[in-house]
Structure 1
Amino acid sequence: MADNATVQVLLLGDCGCGKTTFLSRLKTPKPPTETLQEIEISLLKDHDQPFLYDIRFSKKSFRVEVYDTASPNQHWSSLRPDLVILAYDVSNRATLDSLKGWRSDITRYFQRGSGERIPIMMLGLKRDLREENDQIIYPQEAYRIAQELHCDRYAECSAISGELIAEAFEDIAKMAAMTTTETGAQGEGGCTVI
């Protein structure tokens, strides 16, 4: 991969699942003591897209352009992303259930040729809101769904508490770095858990 390459990442998931808060936390890391009101003030705005992140990973420098969307009617279907992230809220089962539809859209818009497959990561957000109740989504269940959706990686984190955010972003950076190599970022089958 050449230094200063650009990798396009498309972040898909239902409205309200935490995508913008996640991206904002990556852009301006704040200590976990920050109030929710302060976080809302620092949120990235849709008109600022793509959100840019300059990364140095494994002795390589590159730029990641992230497009964040929750609407299938937006311009995202005309993009040519190198990597797609499917996001859901770990405290909201409906956002997990809708990933199947998002995954179908990825196939429809980005996998045109025989054997062509774009690398996909499934990302659980709002980990801090996971509570014991009848709607709880355990990581094991989400990992199983990631496998069923043929995702290459699974991770979860909390933008509010900061829990596992660095690890999730490192895995995104690793997949992004691999997208322009000969082998690409696709896994050998199965799904890696972070």
Structure 2
Amino acid sequence: MTVTDSATNLKCVVVGDGGIGKTSMLLKYVNGRFMDEYIPTCFDNYTAVIDMEDRDINLSLVDTAGQETYDRLRTLSYYDTDVFIVCFSLVDPDSFINVKSRWIPELKEFKPGTPIILVGTKRDLRDENPNKTDVISYYKAKKTARRVGAGSYVECSAVTNDGLAEVFRQASVSALGIRKKKPFWSSLKSLFTPKRLTVRR
């Protein structure tokens, strides 16, 4: 994290299994475009500028590949990261299992002590089939978030836009080290509304 007189620069790296909606989440948040076709990501970078009181938050978003082929390259992107977003799909139990078995151990090995938030993607698909046995409930995921030491847990949908702004608000709050305090916390929501968004590839 770097700080100037008028801006704070934060680096946020997004990790998780391939095909769970990481890129769709980022693209929808950054430019409002939903990518309905799965195209495996190698590495992409995006920038969101968020207005926060007396300064801007320049949020550098790094989209990483979940495939094991890219393990070595992916870990190189962890340098100087301020916060990690660990994603899984709410309709993919294997991706949820891998949060504890693969992603959290990797982050703790290569960038210990860095804030983590846990994000469940494709909430719209789970909500359409709430009685299916292979979907991940909010309470189950929240419990896992506590166990792995995540600062918060958020669910989102790139299709409906639900929860997207909250994902990156929580990431910014975690990176800045702001702790939840009841009266103050609710007022933060207005501070993290995207003011202008740009894409940098």
Could you state the TM-score of these two structures normalised by the residue count of structure 2?
0.75
1:151 alignment partner in structure 2: 150
Residues 1:27 and 2:30 are matched in the alignment: yes
1:118 to 114, 119, 132: 114
Identity among equivalent pairs (%): 21
Q: Residue 185 of structure 1: CA displacement?
A: 5.5
User: Could you tell me how far apart the structure 2 residues matched to 1:21 and 1:169 are?
Assistant: 14
| Partner amino acid, structure 1, of 2:96 | L
Q: Distance in 2 between matches of 1:22 and 1:44?
A: 14
CA displacement at 1:175 relative to structure 2: 2.6
**Cα offsets for 1:39-86 (capped at 9, x unmatched):** 347x89655x22111111233212111111114524232222110110
**Is the Cα–Cα contact under 8 Å of residues 88 and 96 in structure 2 kept in the other structure?**
yes
Q: Distance in 2 between matches of 1:93 and 1:58?
A: 40
Quick check: which one's helix share is greater?
A: 2
Q: What's the CA shift for 1:16?
A: 0.6
Aligned residue pair count: 171
Bigger fraction of residues in strand = 2
Give the partner amino acid of 2:166: E
RMSD over aligned Cα, in angstroms? Answer: 2.8
Name structure 2 gaps, 5 residues minimum: 181-201
In the alignment, what sits opposite 1:65? 60
CA distance in 1, matches of 2:178, 2:13: 14
Matched, 1:51 2:54: no
CA distance in 2, matches of 1:57, 1:174: 11
CA contact (8 A) 1:84 1:120 kept: yes
Between the aligned partners of 1:126 and 1:155, the Cα distance in structure 2 is 12
Residue by residue over 1:126-154, the C-alpha shift from the partner in whole angstroms, topping out at 9 and shown as x without a partner, is: 00010221112110000000111111111
CA shift in 2, pair 1:185/1:50, >3 Å: farther
* Corresponding residue for residue 109 of structure 1: 110
Map 1:43-192 onto structure 2 (within 5 A).
Answer: 46=42, 49-69=44-64, 70-71=66-67, 73-78=71-76, 79-100=79-100, 101-111=102-112, 117-130=113-126, 131=129, 132-176=131-175, 178=176, 184=177
Q: Provide, for residues 164-185 of structure 1, a one-character-per-residue CA deviation record: whole Å limited to 9, x for no partner.
A: 2222232223334x1xxxxx35
Structure 1, unpaired ranges of 5+: 31-37, 112-116, 179-183, 188-194
- SS of the residue corresponding to residue 146 of structure 1 reads helix
> For the Cα contact (< 8 Å) 1:119–1:185, is it kept in 2?
no
The residue type paired with residue 95 of structure 1 is: S
Q: Which amino acid aligns with 1:76?
A: R
2:167 aligned counterpart, secondary structure: helix
TM-score normalised by the chain length of structure 1? 0.77
